[in-house]
């Protein structure tokens, strides 16, 4: 009996020791976990440095002599869609700057008055109010001046401004609207102001790129982030596409021949073949690209620069081979696409009758 009791006690002690050992083993990983140092988050300093070089678009600049009002914008919108602004009452501003085509026309070069084949691509009006000069060659010093240019051009809309004023004065609704908006009669100056006011409302500023700048880390893809680093670094795009509009507002020769560009405005030899740097917000909506519409896709554009541009004698020293890999080209395209945002669509207004 004494032996049996001793055996039972040994078994009891061993079971307690086993349970303690199990508890120690179970708690060991937790203790070990507590003692492990926290993993440090990896910081991509190159990306942070690249990101710091960009800034938001900011407010649209509005000239003091042409303040924005809802009534003026609506009048400008109606004029923008009205074919009376062309000499044959067929074309309107919208013909070459259509909302569904990224406020361009989707063609390499424009088709003008009675089928004239133009030599340049129709530039988008997206964010056009931010530029200090307008047109590819910068010949217009304001959006108001730009608005009247195509109307008078013999190869674009071919409308005499004096005749246009007479024609619009024959439309009672326009007479009333101009009097309400400007407290004045219909004039070429007021036509320009109304159209420019409308064009200043066509803005793209809320893009994935902008949301990323504001701190939304997942707003753009990993490829786009790599593209941002290339844009600032190896590809050197930021040399010209900088500032709020992602344009230096300047003129550069990218190696393309066949058009004298800025030279036709200034007469300076150094301006031969130079064209204005385009802003990039909304860029994916505005194909084809370049002043002659010769590049169909954003990838074509990047590949053109990667090859070092064309061979024009006045080509900018900023344009040289980039030696990007295929993956780097795709990453740069992804970054450009992140700047594009949603295209602002508008409904065509009712054109007033005589």
Backbone φ, ψ for residue 289 (5° rounding): -115, 165
- The dihedral through the CA atoms of 140, 145, 147, 150 has a sign that is negative
Q: CB-based burial of residue 261 (10 Å sphere; 0-12 exposed, 13-18 middle, 19+ buried)?
A: buried
Measured CA to CA in angstroms, residue 173 lies from 79, 177, 350 at distances of 12, 6, 11
Give CA–CA dist 65/293, Å, rounded.
35
Q: Which stretches of the chain are DSSP H helices?
A: 2-35, 45-51, 70-81, 93-96, 143-152, 161-169, 172-182, 188-199, 208-213, 222-232, 263-266, 298-306, 326-338
DSSP lists the bridge partners of residue 295 as 289
Query: Any catalytic annotation for residue 24?
Result: no
Query: Is-contact 130 244, C-beta < 8 A?
Result: yes
Residue 211 pairs in a beta bridge with none
- Can you tell me the distance from the alpha carbon of 133 to that of 129, in angstroms, rounded to the nearest whole number? 9
Distance CA 134, CA 14 (A): 92
Residue 84 gets which letter from DSSP? G
Of 203, 241, 247, 205, give the one whose Cα is nearest residue 62. Answer: 203
> Could you tell me which residues are beta bridge partners of residue 98?
104
d(CA 115, CA 325): 42
Alpha-carbon Rg for the chain, nearest whole angstrom, is: 31
DSSP bridge pairs for 134 = 140
Alpha-carbon span 206 to 27, nearest angstrom: 52
State the catalytic residue, choosing from 156, 167, 226, 328: 156
Active site residues: 156
């Amino acid at each position: 009996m004494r032996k049996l009791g001793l055996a039972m006690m040994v078994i009891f002690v061993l079971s307690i020791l086993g349970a303690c050992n199990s508890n120690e083993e179970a708690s060991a990983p937790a203790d070990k976990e507590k003692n492990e140092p926290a993993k440090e988050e990896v910081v991509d300093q190159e990306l942070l440095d690249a990101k710091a070089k960009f800034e938001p678009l900011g407010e649209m600049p509005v000239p003091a002599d042409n303040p924005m009002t809802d009534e003026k914008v609506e009048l400008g919108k109606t004029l923008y869609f009205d074919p009376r602004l062309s000499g044959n009452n067929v074309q309107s501003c919208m013909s070459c700057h259509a909302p569904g085509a990224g406020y361009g026309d989707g063609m390499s070069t424009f088709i003008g008055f009675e089928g004239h084949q133009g030599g340049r691509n129709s530039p988008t009006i997206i964010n056009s109010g931010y530029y200090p000069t307008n047109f590819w060659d910068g010949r217009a010093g304001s959006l108001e001046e730009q608005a009247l240019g195509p109307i008078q051009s013999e190869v674009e809309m071919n409308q005499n401004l004096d005749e246009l004023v007479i024609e619009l004065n024959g439309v009672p609704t326009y007479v009333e609207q101009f009097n309400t908006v400007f407290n004045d009669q219909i004039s070429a100056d007021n036509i320009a102001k109304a159209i420019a006011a409308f064009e200043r409302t066509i803005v793209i500023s809320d893009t994935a790129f902008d949301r990323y700048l504001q701190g939304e880390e997942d707003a753009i893809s990993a490829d786009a982030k790599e593209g941002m680093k290339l844009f600032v670094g190896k590809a050197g795009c930021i040399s010209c596409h900088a500032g709020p509009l992602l344009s230096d507002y300047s003129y550069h020769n990218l190696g393309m021949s066949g058009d004298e560009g800025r030279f036709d405005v200034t007469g300076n030899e150094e301006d031969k073949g130079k064209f204005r740097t385009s802003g990039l917000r909304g860029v994916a909506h505005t194909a084809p690209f370049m002043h002659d519409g010769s590049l169909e896709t954003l990838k074509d554009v990047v590949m053109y620069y990667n090859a070092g541009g064309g061979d024009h004698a006045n080509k900018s020293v900023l344009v040289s081979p980039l030696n990007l890999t295929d993956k780097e080209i795709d990453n740069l395209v992804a970054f450009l696409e992140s700047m594009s945002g949603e295209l602002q669509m508008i409904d065509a207004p009712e054109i007033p009758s005589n």
